[in-house]
A and B are shown apart, each in its own frame.
Chain A
Amino acid sequence: MTLLFYSAGAIALIATLSVILSSNVVHALVYLIISLLSVAVIFFALGAPFAAMLEAIVYAGAIMVLFLFVMMMLNLGQATEDEERAWMQPSLWIGPGLLSGILLLLFVSTLLTHDVTLAPVEVSVRDISLLLFGPWLLAVELASMLLLAGLIAAYHLAKK
Chain B
Amino acid sequence: MKFEVGSALSIAAILFTVIVVAAMLIWVERRLLGLWQERLGPNRVGPFGLLQVVADMIKIFTKEDWVPPFADRFSFLLAPPIIMVVILLSFSVIPFAPGVGVIDSDIGVLFVLAMASLGAYSVMLGGLSSNNKYALLGSLRAAAQMVSYEVFMGISLLGVVALAGTFNLREIVLSQADGWYILPQCVGFLIFVIAGVAESHRLPFDIPEAEQEIVAGYHTEYSGMKFGMFFVGEYLGVVLVSSLIVVLFFGGWLGPAFLPPIVWFVLKASVFVAFFVLLRAAIPRPRYDQLMNYGWLFLLPLSLLNLLLTGAFVLWQEGM
Asked if B121 and A26 sit within 8 Å, CB to CB, the answer is no
Asked if A73 and B117 sit within 8 Å, CB to CB, the answer is no
Asked if B107 and A50 sit within 8 Å, CB to CB, the answer is yes
Which of chain B's residues has its CB closest to A57's CB? B114
Which of chain A's residues has its CB closest to B143's CB? A69
Asked if B136 and A124 sit within 8 Å, CB to CB, the answer is no
Asked if B140 and A60 sit within 8 Å, CB to CB, the answer is no
Asked if B106 and A68 sit within 8 Å, CB to CB, the answer is no
- Of B1-9, B28-36, B72-80, the stretch lying at the interface with chain A is B72-80
A56-B114, A124-B106 known; A72 and B121 CB under 8 Å? no
- Of B12-20, B46-54, B124-132, B259-267, the stretch lying at the interface with chain A is B124-132
Q: Mark A45-72, 1 if CB is under 8 A from B, else 0.
A: 0000110111011001110011011011
The complex places the Cα of A15 from the Cα of B129 at a distance, in Å, of 20
Asked if A62 and B147 sit within 8 Å, CB to CB, the answer is yes
Which residues 76-120 in B have Cβ within 8 Å of A in the complex? 78, 105-107, 110-111, 113-114, 116-118, 120
Interface assignment of B167: CB less than 8 Å from any CB of chain A: yes
Q: A65: which of B110, B111, B147 is its contact (CB, 8 Å)? A: B147
State the Cβ distance, A62 to closest chain B Cβ, in Å. Answer: 6
Main SS at interface, chain A = helix
- Which residues of chain A have C-beta atoms less than 8 A from B242's C-beta? none
Asked if B113 and A57 sit within 8 Å, CB to CB, the answer is yes
Which of chain B's residues has its CB closest to A73's CB? B140
Q: A26: which of B72, B110, B113, B146 is its contact (CB, 8 Å)? A: B72
- Which residues of chain A have C-beta atoms less than 8 A from B125's C-beta? 26, 30, 68
Which residues 4-56 in A have Cβ within 8 Å of B in the complex? 24, 26-27, 30, 33, 37, 49-50, 52-54, 56
Q: A49: which of B74, B106, B124 is its contact (CB, 8 Å)? A: B106
Interface assignment of B139: CB less than 8 Å from any CB of chain A: yes
State the Cβ distance, A128 to closest chain B Cβ, in Å. Answer: 11
Which residues 114-171 in B have Cβ within 8 Å of A in the complex? 114, 116-118, 120-121, 124-125, 127-129, 136, 139-140, 143-144, 146-147, 150, 167
Interface assignment of A125: CB less than 8 Å from any CB of chain B: yes
- Which residues of chain B have C-beta atoms less than 8 A from A68's C-beta? 121, 124-125, 128, 143
State the Cβ distance, B51 to closest chain A Cβ, in Å. Answer: 39
The complex places the Cα of A37 from the Cα of B111 at a distance, in Å, of 13
Q: A72: which of B105, B111, B124 is its contact (CB, 8 Å)? A: B124
The complex places the Cα of A125 from the Cα of B106 at a distance, in Å, of 8
State the Cβ distance, A48 to closest chain B Cβ, in Å. Answer: 10
The complex places the Cα of A68 from the Cα of B118 at a distance, in Å, of 12
A26-B128, A69-B143 known; A49 and B121 CB under 8 Å? no
State the Cβ distance, A98 to closest chain B Cβ, in Å. Answer: 32
Asked if A53 and B147 sit within 8 Å, CB to CB, the answer is no
A24-B72, A26-B125, A49-B106 known; A72 and B139 CB under 8 Å? yes
- Which residues of chain B have C-beta atoms less than 8 A from A125's C-beta? 106-107, 167
Which of chain A's residues has its CB closest to B79's CB? A30
Which of chain B's residues has its CB closest to A27's CB? B74
State the Cβ distance, B41 to closest chain A Cβ, in Å. Answer: 37
Which residues 103-135 in A have Cβ within 8 Å of B in the complex? 124-125
- Which residues of chain A have C-beta atoms less than 8 A from B72's C-beta? 24, 26
Asked if A65 and B74 sit within 8 Å, CB to CB, the answer is no
Which residues 42-78 in B have Cβ within 8 Å of A in the complex? 72, 74-75, 78
Which of chain B's residues has its CB closest to A61's CB? B117
Asked if A72 and B107 sit within 8 Å, CB to CB, the answer is no
Asked if A65 and B117 sit within 8 Å, CB to CB, the answer is yes
> Which residues of A line the B interface, CB within 8 A?
24, 26-27, 30, 33, 37, 49-50, 52-54, 56-57, 60-62, 65-66, 68-69, 71-73, 124-125
24 sample A-B contacts, Cβ–Cβ < 8 Å, listed by A number: A24-B74, A26-B125, A26-B128, A26-B129, A30-B75, A33-B121, A37-B118, A49-B105, A49-B106, A50-B110, A52-B107, A54-B110, A56-B114, A61-B117, A62-B150, A65-B124, A68-B125, A68-B128, A69-B140, A72-B124, A72-B139, A72-B143, A124-B106, A125-B167
Known: A69-B147, A72-B139. 8 other contacts (CB 8 A): A24-B74, A26-B129, A30-B74, A30-B75, A49-B105, A53-B113, A54-B110, A57-B117
